[in-house]
C-alpha cells in the first residue's frame, strides 16, 4: 500500500507575478497545481537600500590616528620645556584634533551598532549594561594602576603626598560614576575626560534613538533634536558636557542616516554645512574643519592600513594606559640615557611610544578584551 502523498502547497494566484499567472492559466489543472506548489513563498521583509557590513575595518585607521595624535600631545607635555623637540611642537599641538576626530567616529559607530542589534527603547537598560561592561572595568583597572603609580612617586620621588594629597573617596566615586564633569574634582586618569563625554552621549542616544533613527521622519527629527542639543550647549565650557560637542557627534550620525537612504543627498550636504557651522560656534573653527574632513575619511577609507589598523584595535587600551607608561618610561630613560640632542630626545620619545603600545597590547589582551567579549554575549 503506497503512503499517502503530502497535500500540495497552495498559494493565492493574486500574489504571483503576472507572467507566472498567465503561464499557469494555459496548463492542465494538475500541472498548474504542481507549478504553484514548486514556487517559493513570497517574502514580506523589505531589502535595505544599502546593506552594511558587520565590522567596519576602515574605522580602525581613524581610531589609531586619533589615539596617536593625543599620545604625542601628552608625551610632549610631560617633558620640561628645555627637553622638548622643536620639530615636534606642531605635531604636539594637533592633540585636540584626535579628540574631535574620535567624537565624529563615535557619532557614527554607536548608532550603527544599535541599528544592527535592532535596538528599541525597552532595551535601554540592557544597552547601558553592555556599554558599561565594555568600557567600565578597563577604565577602573587603569584608574587603580594610576593611583598605585602616584603612591610610588610620592614615596620614592617626591618624598611627600604631592599626588595623594588631592585624593578623596568622593573624587574616586565621581571618577567611577563618570560624573566628574558635574563636580569640581579632576579625573584621576587625565586622558579619560572624553570618556565622560562619551558616556553622556550613550545616555542621550539610548533614550532618543527611536526618534533619531527610526521611521520615515527620522532625518528631520534628527536635525531638530541635534540643533536643540547644540542650542542647550551654547555658553557651556567645551570640556563640561556632551552638549558642547554634540554637533561633532551629529556629523557622524547624519552620515549614517544618508548611507541608510533615510536622507537625500541635498539634505545631507545641507546638514553637513549646518553642523559644521554649529561646531565652529560651539568649539572652534579648527574643530569644525577636522569634523568635516573626518566625514569623507569615514566614507572612503574602508580598508585596513597596516600598522594603523592594529593600533586602532587596541586604541581604547592605549588611551587608558599611555600616560601611565609614558610618564614612567620618560622618567627612567632620561636618567639612563641623558640625551642632549634632538636625535637623542627623539629616540627617547620613540622608546616611550613603543613601550606604551606594548603595554596597551598586553592590557587589551588581558583586561579589555575579556570584558569586550562578555559584553557581546550579553542580551
Q: List, run by run, the mean pLDDT of 10-residue segments along the chain (379 residues).
A: 43 41 41 38 36 71 93 72 64 82 96 94 96 97 94 79 83 94 91 92 97 90 96 76 94 96 96 97 94 96 92 96 90 87 85 95 98 91
Q: Within this chain, do residues 265 and 326 fall inside the same structural domain, yes or no? A: yes
How high is the pLDDT of residue 355? 95
How high is the pLDDT of residue 159? 64
Q: Distance between CA atoms of 274 and 226, rounded to whole angstroms?
A: 10
Q: Within this chain, do residues 141 and 29 fall inside the same structural domain, yes or no? A: no
> Does a structural domain hold residue 282?
yes
How many CA atoms are closer than 13 Å to the CA of 90, on its beta-carbon side?
A: 1
How high is the pLDDT of residue 239? 64
Q: Within this chain, do residues 227 and 350 fall inside the same structural domain, yes or no? A: yes
How high is the pLDDT of residue 55? 72
Q: Within this chain, do residues 142 and 255 fall inside the same structural domain, yes or no? A: yes
> Does a structural domain hold residue 317?
yes
Q: Of 290, 276, 331, which Cα lies nearest the Cα of 70?
A: 290
Q: Within this chain, do residues 257 and 204 fall inside the same structural domain, yes or no? A: yes
Segments forming the whole domain that contains residue 15:
1-40
C-alpha cell at 217: 521622519
How high is the pLDDT of residue 16? 41
> Does a structural domain hold residue 342?
yes
How many CA atoms are closer than 13 Å to the CA of 309, on its beta-carbon side?
A: 10
How high is the pLDDT of residue 290? 96
Q: Within this chain, do residues 24 and 105 fall inside the same structural domain, yes or no? A: no
The neighbour count for residue 280, using CB atoms within 10 Å, is 17
Q: Within this chain, do residues 34 and 90 fall inside the same structural domain, yes or no? A: no
Q: Work out how many domains the chain is built from and give that number.
A: 2
C-alpha cell at 282: 560651539
> Does a structural domain hold residue 278?
yes
Q: Within this chain, do residues 194 and 222 fall inside the same structural domain, yes or no? A: yes
> Does a structural domain hold residue 49?
no
Q: Distance between CA atoms of 345 and 316, rounded to whole angstroms?
A: 27
Q: Distance between CA atoms of 27 and 34, rounded to whole angstroms?
A: 10
Alpha helices in the chain (DSSP H): 18-25, 29-38, 58-78, 89-92, 95-116, 124-156, 169-176, 193-213, 218-233, 246-259, 265-282, 285-300, 308-313, 315-337, 342-363, 369-377
How high is the pLDDT of residue 6? 44
How high is the pLDDT of residue 87? 62
How high is the pLDDT of residue 7? 43
Q: Within this chain, do residues 155 and 249 fall inside the same structural domain, yes or no? A: yes
Q: What one-character DSSP code corresponds to residue 368?
A: I
How high is the pLDDT of residue 312? 96
> Does a structural domain hold residue 50?
no
Residue 112 vs residues 50, 106, 255, 260, 344: alpha-carbon distances, Å: 13, 9, 11, 10, 45
How many CA atoms are closer than 13 Å to the CA of 170, on its beta-carbon side?
A: 5
Residue in the block written with cell 639612563: 336
Q: Within this chain, do residues 2 and 63 fall inside the same structural domain, yes or no? A: no
Are 200 and 242 within 8 A, CB to CB? Answer: yes
> Does a structural domain hold residue 361?
yes
Q: Distance between CA atoms of 320 and 313, rounded to whole angstroms?
A: 13
The neighbour count for residue 347, using CB atoms within 10 Å, is 14
> Does a structural domain hold residue 15?
yes
Q: Within this chain, do residues 114 and 10 fall inside the same structural domain, yes or no? A: no
Q: Within this chain, do residues 34 and 7 fall inside the same structural domain, yes or no? A: yes
Q: Distance between CA atoms of 355 and 78, rounded to whole angstroms?
A: 15
Are 353 and 71 within 8 A, CB to CB? Answer: yes
Amino acid at each position: 500500500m503506497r503512503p499517502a502523498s503530502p497535500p500540495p502547497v497552495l498559494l493565492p494566484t493574486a500574489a504571483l507575478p503576472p507572467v507566472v499567472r498567465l503561464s499557469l492559466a494555459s496548463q492542465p489543472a494538475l500541472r498548474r497545481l504542481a507549478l504553484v506548489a514548486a514556487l517559493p513563498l513570497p517574502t514580506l521583509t523589505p531589502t535595505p537600500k544599502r546593506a552594511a557590513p558587520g565590522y567596519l575595518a576602515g574605522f580602525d585607521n581613524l581610531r589609531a590616528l586619533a589615539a596617536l595624535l593625543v599620545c604625542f600631545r601628552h608625551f610632549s607635555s610631560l617633558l620640561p620645556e628645555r627637553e622638548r623637540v622643536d620639530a615636534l611642537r606642531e605635531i604636539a599641538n594637533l592633540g585636540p584634533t584626535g579628540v574631535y576626530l574620535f567624537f565624529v567616529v563615535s557619532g557614527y559607530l554607536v548608532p550603527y551598532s544599535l541599528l544592527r542589534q535592532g535596538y528599541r527603547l525597552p532595551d535601554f537598560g540592557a544597552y547601558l549594561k553592555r556599554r558599561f561592561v565594555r568600557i567600565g572595568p578597563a577604565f577602573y583597572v587603569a584608574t587603580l594602576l594610576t593611583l598605585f603609580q602616584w603612591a610610588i612617586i610620592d614615596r620614592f620621588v617626591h618624598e611627600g603626598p604631592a599626588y595623594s594629597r588631592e585624593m578623596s573617596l568622593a573624587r574616586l566615586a565621581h571618577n567611577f560614576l563618570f560624573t566628574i564633569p558635574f563636580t569640581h574634582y579632576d579625573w584621576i586618569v587625565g586622558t579619560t575626560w572624553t570618556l565622560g563625554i562619551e558616556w553622556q552621549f550613550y545616555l542621550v542616544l539610548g533614550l532618543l534613538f527611536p526618534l533619531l533613527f527610526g521611521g520615515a521622519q527620522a532625518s528631520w527629527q534628527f536635525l531638530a533634536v541635534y540643533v536643540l542639543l547644540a542650542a542647550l550647549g551654547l555658553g557651556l565650557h567645551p570640556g563640561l558636557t556632551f552638549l558642547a560637542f554634540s554637533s561633532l557627534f551629529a556629523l557622524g550620525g547624519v552620515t549614517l542616516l544618508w548611507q541608510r537612504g533615510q536622507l537625500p543627498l541635498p539634505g545631507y550636504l545641507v546638514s553637513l554645512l549646518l553642523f559644521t557651522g554649529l561646531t565652529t560656534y560651539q568649539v572652534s573653527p579648527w574643530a569644525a574643519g577636522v569634523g568635516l574632513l573626518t566625514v569623507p575619511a569615514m566614507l572612503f577609507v574602508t580598508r585596513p592600513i597596516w600598522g594603523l589598523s592594529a593600533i586602532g584595535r587596541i586604541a581604547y587600551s592605549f588611551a587608558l594606559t599611555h600616560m601611565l607608561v609614558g610618564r614612567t618610561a620618560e622618567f627612567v630613560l632620561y636618567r639612563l640615557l641623558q640625551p642632549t640632542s634632538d636625535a637623542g630626545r627623539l629616540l627617547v620619545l620613540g622608546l616611550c611610544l613603543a613601550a606604551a603600545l606594548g603595554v596597551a597590547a598586553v592590557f587589551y589582551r588581558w583586561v579589555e578584551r575579556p570584558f569586550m567579549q562578555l559584553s557581546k554575549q550579553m542580551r
